[in-house]
């Protein structure tokens, strides 16, 4: 029986990496009924919302979507399509694994962390206004409800996947009310998971420690803004945004996405690395119960990298289509 999956092909290089990703999934033998839905710049240019209601309704109906990068118009009043999807579908948990990959040299050997980023509030609630003509105000929204959801998700993931620890990341030494609430919620929830080591750390200290003592960390859980920043730091540690996957989970649906942007200057050049979207698709496959296919794709990607077939961001000269073809060959070989 085929899995139904909504697909957003995105802007810029989105359609190219989507095509590459779909070829790899097909070669892995996964039967997927792709349902294309609209979002992004073409919707704005047509006078529609950046994520139309029909797209939200279809993803909610199907329950799973794979999303290529989309462009947010800057300074034009358009909200982020990514934030819109997360808020309207209540995708409260953004999960971004970061691990060392064979054939991708970095100074951070043995990297293996998973970041849990709260996805629905904090400054990303986008509550901001001009208090006076020369003073802008933004509201940092932190609730006990949203904090507990993401913290429990992190602990449940750690328990299910035999991870050794969960670290709460915050700035409660300065934002004693907002981040203080997140920290107090963590301290309460951790009591329900005595089998998992847990502690907290301040976000700036974490950033320093990640690049000096990264092996000390396992699962990290944090509010929205810190999650955005730390996950990009972790992506750089594993080799760049071109290899960094991500998934967004709610109670009733999930959307999987490449972490990087739409890179419009590279559109049509057959140049950009399709790994991030493809590895995000392996997270999707596990969500769909296709763990064997996910492992096969990951292994095929690793063998391709070890053979030196890499795109420009990894100092190689393979095109998007060539890298995808090499992975397909590994899967079929």
* Catalytic residue positions, numbered: 124, 171, 204, 228
State the Rg of the chain over Cα: 20
- Residue among 248, 261, 245, 227 nearest 298 (CA): 245
Q: Residue 325 has what DSSP assignment? A: H
In whole angstroms, give the CA distance from residue 119 to residue 172.
19
Buried b (16+ CB within 10 A) or exposed e, 48-74: eebbeeebbebbbebbbbbbbbbbbee
Cα distances (Å, whole numbers) of residue 59 to 1, 75, 89, 131, 251? 19, 28, 8, 37, 13
20: three-class secondary structure by DSSP: helix
Largest CA distance in the chain: 65
Instruction: Identify the residue whose tokens are 């006990």.
Output: 144
Burial environment of residue 31 by CB neighbours within 10 A (0 to 12, 13 to 18, 19 or more): exposed
Instruction: Identify the residue whose tokens are 């810190």.
Output: 226
Helix axes 53-62, 81-88, angle to 10 degrees: 50
Instruction: Identify the residue whose tokens are 């994520």.
Output: 51
Cα angle 58, 60, 62 (rounded to 5 degrees) comes to 65
In whole angstroms, give the CA distance from residue 309 to residue 294.
20
């Amino acid at each position: 029986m085929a899995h139904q999956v909504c697909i957003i092909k995105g802007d810029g290089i989105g359609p190219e990496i989507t095509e590459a990703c779909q070829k790899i999934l097909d070669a892995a033998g996964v039967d997927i009924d792709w349902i294309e839905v609209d979002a992004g710049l073409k919707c704005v240019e047509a006078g529609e919302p950046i994520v139309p209601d029909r797209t939200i309704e279809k993803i909610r109906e199907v329950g799973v979507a794979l999303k290529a990068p989309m462009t947010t118009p800057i300074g034009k009043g358009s909200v982020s399509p990514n934030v819109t999807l997360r808020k309207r579908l209540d995708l409260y948990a953004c999960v971004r694994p970061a691990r060392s990959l064979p054939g991708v040299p970095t100074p951070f050997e043995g990297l293996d962390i998973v970041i849990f980023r709260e996805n629905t509030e904090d400054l990303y609630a986008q509550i901001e206004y001009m208090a006076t003509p020369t003073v802008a105000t933004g509201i940092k929204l932190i609730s006990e409800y949203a904090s507990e959801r993401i913290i429990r998700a992190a602990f449940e993931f750690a328990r299910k996947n035999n991870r050794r620890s969960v670290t709460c990341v915050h700035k409660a030494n300065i934002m004693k009310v907002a981040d203080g609430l997140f920290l107090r919620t963590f301290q309460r929830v951790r009591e329900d998971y005595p089998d998992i080591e847990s502690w907290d750390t301040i976000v700036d200290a974490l950033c320093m420690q990640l690049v000096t003592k990264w092996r000390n960390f396992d699962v990290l859980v944090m509010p929205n803004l810190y999650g955005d920043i730390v996950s990009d730091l972790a992506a750089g540690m594993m080799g760049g945004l071109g290899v960094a996957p991500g998934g967004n989970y709610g109670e009733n649906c999930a959307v999987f996405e490449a972490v990087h942007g739409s890179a419009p200057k590279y559109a049509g050049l057959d140049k950009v690395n399709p790994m991030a979207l493809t590895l995000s698709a392996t997270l999707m496959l596990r969500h769909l119960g296709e763990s064997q296919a996910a492992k096969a794709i990951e292994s095929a990607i690793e063998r391709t990298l070890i053979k030196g077939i890499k795109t420009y961001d990894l100092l190689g000269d393979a095109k998007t289509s060539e890298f995808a073809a090499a992975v397909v060959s590994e899967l079929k070989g």
